[in-house]
Structure 1
């Protein structure tokens, strides 16, 4: 993985391909490449590093062509290096690929006679496989259809052949691919955002679709080899998300967009019943006795918070990392709703877990996502969208808080009795988020004191423990500081051995039933010379009297996980800025994880 762009037109497509790659940079990558066909000749440029380096090569070589494919790579097989960058070539054929070919070693062994391999990638195997199967009596389209039956794993591929300068062939299984429709030109991409400068008409492909594009035609074959039509969707999006405006980073901009995102996510969802919220049968609410939440990364943390909310209204909740759910025997409790949470809606582990769950007797399948036309929405019975807007920073911020907001609205809708406290807290959420953002300058000052640290512990209790997990994840992601999280009561069961004056501990203290116990845990840290950074709600009566302390605005207890997470986002952001890391595109990470 990470990004694919392809184009066939009656004009030079190199600028279109490069523009598409630039628009996909937010997904994270380590190298980039482009291949075009001009007068029956295949030309390629590749570069390690940013798309700007590739663009300089393209300009220097005057790379032009009316048919081409391009790619940003996030390393899976082989180190980040130009030799491993896509496109990969075999004779007259060039291929780009997202995903992982699980049987590539087996295929590589079979192709070792007659083909030399220049890279460590699984993708080069695809190029040689297609070339080995190619013959004059068979079209490239037919060859690719046959070749993909030999591939095990997940993939989206795009293929061009200099002997056929008038067609682009592509296929997908498990990772996203869309067709962009133009006038006298057609395009493909792994994300429609890449193509918005040239079209707003898209066809979303399904698993095992194989396509052939010319300038004026689109042909789609399904798994059975039948010609089919997929619906066309118009995407009207602005470039506002792609503009940082006065902000230094996309992540900073997205943190400060949260009041608006929360407000838009809540629009029409306050004090509504389940049928209105989900668009489901009116009787579903009375049937649900339990929920199963599956997610990965930050979305998993949202699920862990929701467990507290669901069980507070008497609905049992189990939360699991999607990649683990697929590989163990599990019990499906009676009358359970299955919930998948994914910001992109294309997280492969979450989608595959959903497919497995659909073989089990769940009441139904609900997706919570920020992407209306994603794979996870197509696989689910119902979808609740988080109206976060496009999130470009790899480290999730507003997508996370809007997920939590949707989950709390869902709990409110499922509550057997009117819960005024939830509705009131949700109504005031945008206001309180503004108050939390007003702490930015104070948090920035504390981050300067912390920024020389090399490791950290995050601690909290109760419903805020998952937020401590999320805080530790954010710090790791963008500042590269090692961080772990623990329920504060667990410190004495092992982690306390790490605590001394050189081990900073970030603690969250709000007013709730566990406040006294939390402060007692902090006393244990202080007694061992621990270096404490405390995020304390103003109304907490007890004086802590030690450590670096930030006084947070008072907030409704039920929405405190959402609001405290904003403070921890600001903290991690400013620490990363102090360290000078690449905040928006942290090393080794990708925005949309479409491999297992």
Structure 2
């Protein structure tokens, strides 16, 4: 949440800053602004409430220019969206301009102290104390670098910060708890909250870590700790391309990313299946054999992927639990050295999930990050990392990353099973637990992990099915939408409800199918649409639940296999997908649910890529 872009180089910075802001709008779009160091050394600031396009209009009139600049797109935490609360913030005299993501927890104390020394504040934000602290240090005779470090030393909380100072060609930045990545270009260098901000200009990056202080100018960069001691960080090449971060012919990133799921799934499974079994290079044979239980920690869509993973693992005889990260972090469960805690996070920067990961790291448990971003905080801090390889996702409502998360977790579940995880009897013979050929998959699962190889083509057929658009129109006047499912269909029902409420702003809830009669049925009326997920497993029980809803007059949309005749004949409308192992049926059903939500939001003319009050990457608790 919130996005930072910095550019220091040759030529005018404004165009690239605006491009970066537009690429970062998925992180926040309450307000936006830029600060540029002009050729005369002075700092010019332009900021305003609203999206980047509104800022661009103002800039066309102001005609700001400069080779060094910072920009910010805001998701409000302290203070409502307004011109005054927009970033960058200055010291009042435009000697220092600052952009900041995160929360300064001691800002009230610092503000009171600075006011006592004559500083005046014009916003409600916690950020505004930062430029005043830097200005205070400059007044005390410190150079810009020392002034910045002294200000950072006073801050408590989480932050990514970048500043420009008058008469300096350098940008000073640091991070603690909020992401910041350095981009190295041919004629300019960049800093941003996320790689897509500058992906059109360079694919060479340096992932900064907590406590790093970086000084960037047109010629290069230097990284050190707060004390000034040099630090070396590796330069990496990102394998995403700039086209992945553009809408192209699509009206919305969400629809583009729904359609990209066949590609993202192929990337997830490519090279990871051999002879019908999962082969993850991150985990050599036997490396997972000492796992007795698995605990998933995650938020939102990633939490639903973790719930899906629990079902896959339990079916393989491995105890598994999913816990919301915002609960686990503060009420952690008993963990042993045979517990594997899996943090599922698309960005690898989700604050609650990182807090859970750190709580687990203080225990004897082993930790693993399932993430989309190489170099992310979660990937660096966990004992191991499994990358989903879905490519950049820009839409706030996660789509292709859910599919890839589930596929990656399915691969991991297969490898855990083959290693004898959760089965002490197999560990008694180390040779057996390390020998994949000795494992009888048919004893534990109904299908083979090799079916994951067929999923991309099957998803393609669902993406091309136009049924969801028709049903979105047909049921657009409903008062409520209930989503139900069993087994892997349950987390998919929760995910379907989440997508629907996120982007349509309509009342939508998800339930385990059997829970419908334990309370929610009281809310079912003829104006309530019930969406039932069928997976080919325990569908007869789900049919009983939907008949209960139909007896109260509710129309029912079924989503299930082509071959599910009883389901098709019972429900009012049916969206089908090709035959697949029930373990993976939820992935196909979920694509229908994504399209249903998308078309329902499109009918209502919602801001699909920028739903109100939400941001893509939640980097504050």
CA contact 2:558–2:571 (8 Å) conserved in 1? no
Secondary structure class of the residue paired with 1:353:
helix
Q: What is the match of residue 561 of structure 2?
A: 537
Q: Kindly state the Cα deviation for residue 183 of structure 1 after the two structures are TM-superposed.
A: 4.6
Q: 2:278–2:412: 8 Å Cα contact kept in structure 1?
A: no
Per-residue CA distance 1:542-591 (angstroms, 9 max, x = gap): 26545333344333211111111111111111111111111112122111
215 and 453 in structure 1: CA distance in 2 versus 1, 3 angstrom threshold:
same
Aligned residue in 2 for 1:528: 552
8 Å contact from structure 1 (residues 500, 531) kept in 2: no
Q: 2:423 matched to which residue of 1? A: none
User: Does the Cα contact within 8 Å between 1:67 and 1:165 map onto a contact in 2?
Assistant: no
Count of equivalent residues: 592
Match of 1:575 in 2: 600
**Distance in structure 2 (CA, Å) of the matches to 1:49 and 1:188:** 23
Deviations 1:350-401 (A, max 9, x none): 1222122111101x32211111121111112322211212212111111100
Counterpart in the other structure of 1:151: 155
Within 2, Cα distance between the matches of 1:283 and 1:476? Answer: 43
SS of the residue corresponding to residue 227 of structure 1 reads: coil
Of residues 429-438 and 272-281 in structure 1, the stretch that sits farther from structure 2 once superposed is: 272-281
Which structure 2 residue ranges, 5 or more long, are not aligned? Answer: 419-438
Q: Distance in 2 between matches of 1:186 and 1:118?
A: 31
The aligned counterpart of 1:228 is 231
What are the superposed Cα offsets for residues 103-160 of structure 1, whole Å, 9 maximum, x if unpaired? 2222222223322221111111222222233335312211221222222211000111
2:454 counterpart residue number? 428
Secondary structure of the structure 1 residue equivalent to 2:289: helix
Structure 2: distance between partners of 1:223 and 1:422: 52
Q: Note closer, same or farther for the CA distance 1:291–1:422 as it changes in structure 2 (3 Å cut).
A: same
- Tell me whether 9-18 or 403-412 shows the greater mean CA deviation: 9-18
Pairing 1:263–2:280 present: no
Q: Tell me, yes or no, if structure 1 residue 403 matches structure 2 residue 394.
A: no
Q: 1:339 maps to which residue?
A: 342
**1:179-218 Cα shifts (integer Å, max 9, x gaps):** 2234564321112222233333222111011122233242
SS at structure 1 position matched to 2:575: strand
CA distance in 2, matches of 1:270, 1:553: 22
> Displacement, 1:281?
4.7
1:263-292 deviation digits (Å, cap 9, x = unpaired): 221111114899951523533222111112
Instruction: Indicate if the aligned counterparts of 2:98 and 2:131 stay in contact, CA closer than 8 A.
Output: yes
2:441 paired residue number: 419
> Is the Cα–Cα contact under 8 Å of residues 271 and 412 in structure 1 kept in the other structure?
no
Conserved 8 A contact 1:174-1:348: yes
Contact persistence 1:425–1:558 (CA under 8 A): no
Q: 1:595, 1:221 → 2: CA distance? A: 25
Q: What is the aligned partner in structure 2 of residue 111 from structure 1?
A: 114
The answer to whether the aligner puts 1:519 opposite 2:543 as a matched pair is yes
CA distance in 1, matches of 2:192, 2:357: 24
Question: Residue 422 of structure 1 contacts residue 558 of structure 1 at CA under 8 Å; is this kept in 2?
Answer: no
Distance 1:279 1:552 in 2: 33
Which segment is superposed worse, 530-539 or 346-355?
Answer: 530-539
| Structural mapping, 1:77-226, within 5 Å | 77-90=78-91, 91=93, 92-113=95-116, 114-162=118-166, 164-183=167-186, 185-226=188-229
213 and 318 in structure 1: CA distance in 2 versus 1, 3 angstrom threshold: same
1:51 maps to what in 2? 52
The answer as to whether partners of 1:71 and 1:96 remain within 8 angstroms in 2 is yes
With the length of structure 2 as denominator, give the TM-score of the two structures. 0.91
* Separation in structure 2 between the aligned mates of residue 240 and residue 72 of structure 1, nearest angstrom: 21
Given that residues 277 and 449 in structure 2 are in contact (C-alpha distance below 8 angstroms), is that contact kept between their aligned partners in structure 1? no
Structure 1 488/276 Cα, relative in aligned 2: closer, same or farther at 3 Å?
A: closer
C-alpha RMSD over aligned residues: 2.0
8 Å Cα contact 2:4-2:191 kept in structure 1: yes
**Which string of whole-angstrom CA distances, capped at 9 and with x for unpartnered residues, describes residues 67-113 of structure 1?**
21111111111111111110001131110001111222222222233
Deviations 1:193-249 (A, max 9, x none): 222333332221110111222332422222554112211123354222134343332
CA distance in 1, matches of 2:571, 2:406: 32
| Alignment correspondent of 1:6 | 6
Of 241-250 and 352-361, more deviation after overlay is shown by: 241-250
- Verify the 8 A CA contact 1:28 1:394 in the aligned structure 2: no
Q: Distance in 2 between matches of 1:275 and 1:262?
A: 15
Shift of the alpha carbon at 1:14?
1.4
Q: Output one character per residue of 1:293-339: Cα deviation in whole Å (capped at 9) or x when no partner.
A: 11111000000011011111111112111121111142004411121
Matched, 1:592 2:594: no
Which stretch of the first structure deviates more once superposed, 233-242 or 310-319?
A: 233-242
Secondary structure in structure 2 of the residue aligned to 1:458:
strand
- Equivalent residue of 2:139, what SS? coil
User: Does residue 293 in structure 1 map to residue 296 in structure 2?
Assistant: yes
